Amino acid sequence: MADIVLDHVSKSFGKVRVIDDLSLTVQSGEFIVFLGPSGSGKSTLLRMIAGLETIDRGRLLIGGRECQTVAPGQRNVAMVFQNYALYPHMTVRENMVFGLRNIGMASDEIRRRVEEAARILEMDQLLDRRPSQLSGGQRQRVAIGRAIVKEPAAFLFDEPLSNLDAALRVRTRVELAELHHRIGTTMIYVTHDQTEAMTMADRIVVLNDCRIEQVGTPMEVYTAPASRFVAGFIGSPAMNFLPVEVINSDGQALATLDDGSTIGLPPDIAGRGRLDLGVRPENVGIVGEGGMTTGKVKVVEHLGDRTIVYVVLGDGTPVTAQTGGHSQVRAGEVVGLTFDVEGARLFGTDGLAQDQAAAI
């Protein structure tokens, strides 16, 4: 177990600066998830920690040891690849011991570790098979086994579940979380799937355009997104952003929508002026009469347990609402909308949440 510190690291591919002066601390034993859209630098960052990409500037500390120039195999981290990269000509057992043989480990120690890993992952009966004789889920397991036998200070996963079908992905997700719980080793997990991030992470690092947008627990990034990007990226359906003018009136914060209707905001909310009001779909209510504003229903999606209603306000602003499974709303209807602004956030034109901007 070890903490991992990225200290002002930079990375260029040729002339293109990809990672620029990024710092991050991963606590020992933490399950941390790098979450971001494609091309946001998740893999690059992970591979810099693994040593598969060089670090141009800055320091990398693994368990307090400076590692930016240490060979990948010597960093005491193990990586699980998206396509597993199991050596096809070796049996499962040979795959697992290859790395241990390379460092000249004694054979009883090797046997102990393989047995231990096979027990943890419940794959004794697979040990003498070739990767081609395994199902996708079993291969995934072997890839993790190959990492476990190294007893590394940290595990690095690059989208390890993306080659599995949906059901298996959910099951493996649970197993991975359980595995982390059991062995307690630091894990860094790269994904673009917010559900994986929300369900497994101790903390999520949200990346956008090779920069860190926010680091926080799943609940923090969900309830208090630091930027409009995080707010929009996490949560499905995505958060609504309503252009508003926020003013103070009698000690009350009032937001005026572009269609002229006003919404009362919590008095302590930070930010005044021309802003975007972020409201999650589950905080938008649909009422027959007496709403804060009205809009026309465009599309209704019945998902069984809930209903997603896409509404357009008078001025053309789209609003998504999420209501219970038995909603009777129909497309074409004009409905009233209420906004539960308790958890609402205001975002400035720079994309930052206003409380963040105020804090800076």
Partner 1 sequence: MTPQTARRANLAGGAITILTVVCAVIWAFPLYWGIVSSLKPEDEVVRPYIELWPDTLTFEHYVHALTATQIGRWYLNSIVTAVGTTVLTILTSIFCGYALSQLRFPLRRPLYWLILASFMVPTQVLIINHFVLVANMGLLNTWAGIILPQLIHPVIIIIYKQFFDQVPKEFREAAVMDNASEWRILFKVFVPMNWGVTTALSIVVFIWSWNAFLWPFLAATKTEWMTITVGITQVNDAFGIYYARELSLAVLAGLPVALAYLLFQRQVTRAITLSAGIKG
Ligand X SMILES: Nc1ncnc2c1ncn2[C@@H]1O[C@H](COP(=O)(O)OP(=O)(O)OP(=O)(O)O)[C@@H](O)[C@H]1O
> Which residues of the chain form contacts with partner 1 (CB under 8 A)?
50-52, 71-74, 77-79, 81-83, 85, 87-90, 98-99, 102-103
Q: Does 194 help bind ligand X (rule: CB under 6 A)?
A: no
Contacted entry of Mg ion, partner 1, ligand X, none for residue 314, CB cut-off 5 to 8 Å set by kind: none
Q: Which helix (H) or strand (E) holds 289?
A: none
DSSP SS3 for 83: coil
> Please, which residue, 13 or 358, has the CB nearer to partner 1?
13
The binder of ligand X chosen from 4, 6, 18, 33 (CB under 6 A) = 18
Cis peptide upstream of residue 237 (ω within 30 degrees of 0): yes
Report the half-sphere exposure of 125 (CA within 13 A, side-chain side): 2
Among the listed residues 75, 72, 83, the one whose alpha carbon sits nearest the alpha carbon of residue 142: 83
Q: Are strands 31-35 and 203-208 parallel, antiparallel or unpaired?
A: parallel
CB proximity list for 15: less than 8 A, separation 6 or greater = none
Contacted entry of Mg ion, ligand X, partner 1, none for residue 52, CB cut-off 5 to 8 Å set by kind: partner 1
> Please, which residue, 193 or 333, has the CB nearer to ligand X?
193
Contacted entry of Mg ion, partner 1, ligand X, none for residue 41, CB cut-off 5 to 8 Å set by kind: ligand X
DSSP conformation class of 225: -
Length in residues, the chain: 360
Q: What's the min distance (Å) between Cβ of 107 and partner 1?
A: 17
Q: Does 38 help bind ligand X (rule: CB under 6 A)?
A: yes
CA distances from 71 to 50, 54, 165 (A): 9, 10, 35
Of 40-48, 171-179, 246-254, 309-317, which part binds ligand X (CB under 6 A)? Answer: 40-48
> Please, which residue, 43 or 208, has the CB nearer to Mg ion?
43
> Please, which residue, 43 or 68, has the CB nearer to Mg ion?
43
> How many whole angstroms separate alpha carbon 263 and alpha carbon 337?
11
Binding-site ranges for ligand X (CB under 6 A):
13, 18, 36, 38-44, 192, 210
